[in-house]
Structure 1
Amino acid sequence: MRKRRQYYKPYGGRRSGPIWLLSLLAVVLIFVLGFVVLLGIVLFGSRDQLSGQPQVMVILGCKVETWGPSILLQDRLDKALDYLEDHPDLTIVVAGGQGDDEHVSEAQCMYDYLTGHGVDGGQILLEDQSHNTWENLRYTRALLEEQGVEATDFVVVSNGFHLARVRMLWERAWDGETTLSTLAAPSSHLPSRLSMYIREPFALVKSFFFDR
């Protein structure tokens, strides 16, 4: 029997996968890295940052339930009340309109909660037309100008996950003309805290490109 002739085949290197699979993996890797970077920005911003001597406190709205402020909103209000114990003379703006599933505006709900805990209603201004963070800040500026309130130092109160985006949008709304401090309220409701820290990096990108 004749032996089958063996032909030499040079080594062509390790075969790579299909181009589409490599491209998909590259896209996934870029997405994951981008998310991690953005989450880092969100986490870095989720802390108290105080500077200057705030003259105006702005409390940003959140969901209102049938019984009153949601847990996240109550966290913001309690954080504000703690600060007001040592700074009782601030002008306060409560910012948030009324959603389709809310029986009162977020601003009114916050006003009721604060006055129910001893804050003088005369020092609270209600911004009750906004429906997102960008409108919160723009309409707050318009309200203060309308009321003749002149201030250069502000403190904004919101949950920690929210504050990196707040700082970015504040610079746009106020043209860098003010000193901004932030108070990071805790997020007592664990499911909400987890979902918000996942959501917020995407909201940061959205606001960077579209909230102008």
Structure 2
Amino acid sequence: MKLQRKRPYAYRGKRRITWWKALAALALAGILVFAGLFGAVMYGSYDHIQDDPQVMVVLGCRVMPEGHPSILLQDRLDTALDYWEEHPDVTIVTSGGQGSNEPVSEARCMADYLMEGGVPEDRILLEDQSHNTKENFLYSKELLADEGIDVGETDVLVVSNGFHLTRARMLAERFGYGEVSTLAAPTSHLPSRIQMYIREPLALVKSFLLDR
């Protein structure tokens, strides 16, 4: 009868320790990467305005079933209105299509809200085909080109909640926007603020790799 040779107990223990060290190193690397991405998101979450933008692109967000803007979208629109009051000559693009659970397009809802706030209808362009941030910039670029505005040669101000702006700037520059400024809206709904700041570093990686 052949006896099975057993490894010494100390050796088995050493191998278990090696695996734990590897797992701990991977976990630490993941934490450091997430922390770096979170730092990038936080850096972009403040106003970065250069020169005097001629175009303001307001990025869409959810429209409630009753037809009014969600809290996050209202934050963006109120911020856009505050800027417009001091820069009434700016051309405003409201960018966002209609989701399956939305009664109107985000662009239409935003335009109506801005007009109620005093913005003349002829200062607003509606981009109502996009369904994500990548499409926001691609379709807004096409819409502005139809109006004779080259985003590669025009100062553009992008308005969104602060957590969104690092990714928004990255995509705007990737799709040919030249001088990009950002205007950070607050995120007044606390649960959404926590959720989005945790989610956004991962969305930043996704967009960097796939939104091309």
* TM-score normalised per structure 2: 0.89
> Hey, what does 1:195 align to over in structure 2?
195
Alignment match, 2:156: 154
Q: Which protein shows a greater Rg?
A: 1
Q: Distance in 1 between matches of 2:94 and 2:201?
A: 25
Spell out, residue by residue over 1:46-95, the C-alpha distance to the aligned partner (whole angstroms, 9 max, x if none): 00011011000000000110231000000000000000111001111000
2: distance between equivalents of 1:114 and 1:85? Answer: 11
Aligned residues, how many?
199
Structure 1 match to 2:133: 133
Output the TM-score relative to the length of structure 1.
0.89
CA contact (8 A) 1:52 1:179 kept: no
State the Cα RMSD in Å: 1.7
Determine what percentage of the aligned residue pairs are the same residue.
59
C-alpha separation between the residues in 1 aligned to 2:72 and 2:40? 21
Amino acid at match of 2:48: Q
| 1:166 is aligned to 2:163 | no
The correspondence of residues 95-134 of structure 1 with structure 2, limited to 5 A, is 95-134=95-134
Q: Residue 94 of structure 1 corresponds to which residue in structure 2? A: 94
d(CA) in 2 for partners of 1:72, 1:80: 13
Hey, what's the Cα distance between the residues in 1 that align with 2:181 and 2:196?
22
Structure 2 residue 47 is matched with structure 1 residue 45: no
CA distance in 1, matches of 2:136, 2:18: 47
| Unmatched runs of 5 consecutive residues or more in structure 1 | 1-11
Matched with 1:61 is: 60
Displacement of 1:15? 4.8
The one-letter code matched in structure 2 to 1:203 is A
Q: Secondary structure at the match of 1:197?
A: helix
Aligned partner of residue 122 in structure 1, secondary structure: helix
